Amino acid sequence: MKIVVGYPPTRSAKGLALLSQNRQFQWFSHETRIFPVVLASAATMAQQAGHEVIWKDAIAENMDDDAFRTFLRREQPDLFLFETKTPVVRLHWQTVQTLKSEFPALKLVICGDHVTARPEETLQNAPVDFVLCGGDYDFLLQDLLAYLTAGAPLPCGIVYRQNGQIAGNKHFELNHKLDEAPFIDRRLTRWDLYQKEYNLRGCPFMYIMSGRDCWHGKCTFCAWTVMYPRFRVRSPENVLDEIGQLIDEYHVTEIFDDSGTLNTGAWLARLCEGLQQRGYSRKIRYSCNMRFGALEPKDYKMMRQAGFRLLKFGLESANQVTLDRLQKKTRVEQIEEGCRWAKQAGLTVHLTMIVGFPWETREDALRTLRLARELMLTGKADLLQATTVVPYPGTPLYEQALKENGFLFDPGDYERFDMREPVLKARMSPEDVREICSQIYAIFLSPRYIMHRIATIRSWNDIGFLMRGAGAVLGHLKDFGRSK
């Protein structure tokens, strides 16, 4: 079969769509592209199975609808697989309708957390042929292709139409062995399109996932709990082999491991040992997501010696009640402690936080702002990002708000779940939520912070990194300003 894997045009006057590999969709003023690891794995697997595969990310290529349809007319594919998310699912239903009217024989297949939570809804609202549920849609695509070409049985996790009725089983299973997946074909999946990421210093850089998704996996707001209710991890040796390939074939200088949280304990020790023994710690910088309270000072030192550069932590809130209600299983005091230990080891600390929880007051949110400012201005953290709380269908926080009539508007207005406005009723006004998000980003403009960052410059690459970061910060401030 001839298969297209990627994203259809997803355009709006609101800005540039950040959809791929993203837990939370946003429209951005500043262009940022994240490599979609699992979707790229799906394309690679299909090609290795003998199918003709074309990677077409119309978002990354800035392609409009006319150009995309011209591409389809020229290539005449048999199947198109793409990912969607809540804020653009209605737009993608319209896309499916348009494509089906012109290409009736084209099999249209959708994956992502929204359709995993509500597969029947998409089949009822658009002439989609198949919905792949769960986070292992790379493996499920291979099962679907075997069904279409050889009549093989369909596993759980694939929902479809049969004689005008919705059929299949949406209750997916995460029983695939990740070490058996081939390494992603980066040329096939156009790795060069995804080099715009201001948090990463090295170039070229690439994304990998050593695990799916997070070994904690209980945060009530996280969309990936819908996709990956069970954590699985590749062996350290398998990850090291992929890193070696990226160094040898693509001369990569930085890697971001986009597992929800990097595995720890003996697994992490083996990874760090391998990075040093194979000489990779001298050739690349390794960055990842991490949890406060997961590591001791010796672990941070071990990671730094193995070539780790940046750790991205979910601070979320400076209020213990909020951390408990979100099931973070962390304490507020672990935030400062973890930042201090990481910085003492020589690592870069990136913080993420969320504003607008239903139970938080303005003073609660200001407490988070004050903690972020203190950490940034005392050199215990280097980077940060702030968002409004936007729970997607299927997450515990969304289901709770649904039961408690906790939305500010009709929760079926999916396009409003795009972080440009608060979606949950809260003990502070929507204006306060936006203002505090803007104040968090304004920390970057503090003279004290700017002088601290200038002092870290060691090369022209560092200057370029800071310039990209400045552009992103101004974009975030613009985004929150124009969402009023």
- For every residue of 183-229, DSSP letters joined together read PP-TTTTTGGGG---TT--SSSEEEE-SEES-SS---TT-THHHH-S
Distance CA 26, CA 388 (A): 11
Q: At what angle do helices 297-305 and 332-344 cross, to 10 degrees?
A: 40
Predicted pLDDT at 396: 97
What is the CB neighbour count within 10 angstroms for residue 420? 21
Query: Max Cα separation, the chain?
Result: 67
CB 364 within 8 A of CB 319: yes
Task: Enumerate the H helices of 345-395 as residue ranges.
Answer: 362-377
CB 286 within 8 A of CB 308: yes
Distance CA 443, CA 145 (A): 50
Distances from the Cα of 103 to the Cα of 84, 109, 124, 145, angstroms: 20, 14, 19, 19
Domains parsed from the chain with CATH numbers: 2-168 (3.40.50.280), 197-482 (3.80.30.20)
Three-class secondary structure of residue 85 per DSSP: coil
Distances from the Cα of 291 to the Cα of 20, 38, 63, 139, 215, angstroms: 23, 22, 37, 28, 10
Least Cα distance to 116 among 260, 229, 6, 226 occurs for 226
Predicted pLDDT at 470: 54
- 147: which residues sit within 8 A by CB, 6+ positions away? 153, 154
Burial 189-216 (b: 16+ CB within 10 A, else e): bbbeebeebbbbbbebbbbbbbbbbbbb
Distance CA 460, CA 187 (A): 28
Q: Which residues pair with 305 in a beta bridge?
A: none
Structure tokens at 2: 């001839």
Cα dihedral across residues 300, 303, 308, 314: positive or negative: negative
CB 31 within 8 A of CB 25: no
Q: At what angle do helices 362-377 and 447-454 cross, to 10 degrees?
A: 30
Burial 55-90 (b: 16+ CB within 10 A, else e): bbbbbbeebeeeebbebbeeeebbbbbbbbbbbbbb
Distance CA 450, CA 453 (A): 5
Distances from the Cα of 11 to the Cα of 62, 81, 456, angstroms: 9, 18, 38
**Along the chain (484 residues), what's the average pLDDT of each consecutive run of 10 residues?**
98 88 82 92 99 98 96 99 98 98 98 98 98 98 98 97 93 96 98 76 86 92 93 98 98 96 98 99 97 98 98 98 97 98 98 97 98 96 94 97 97 95 94 94 86 64 56 54 50
Distance CA 108, CA 105 (A): 9
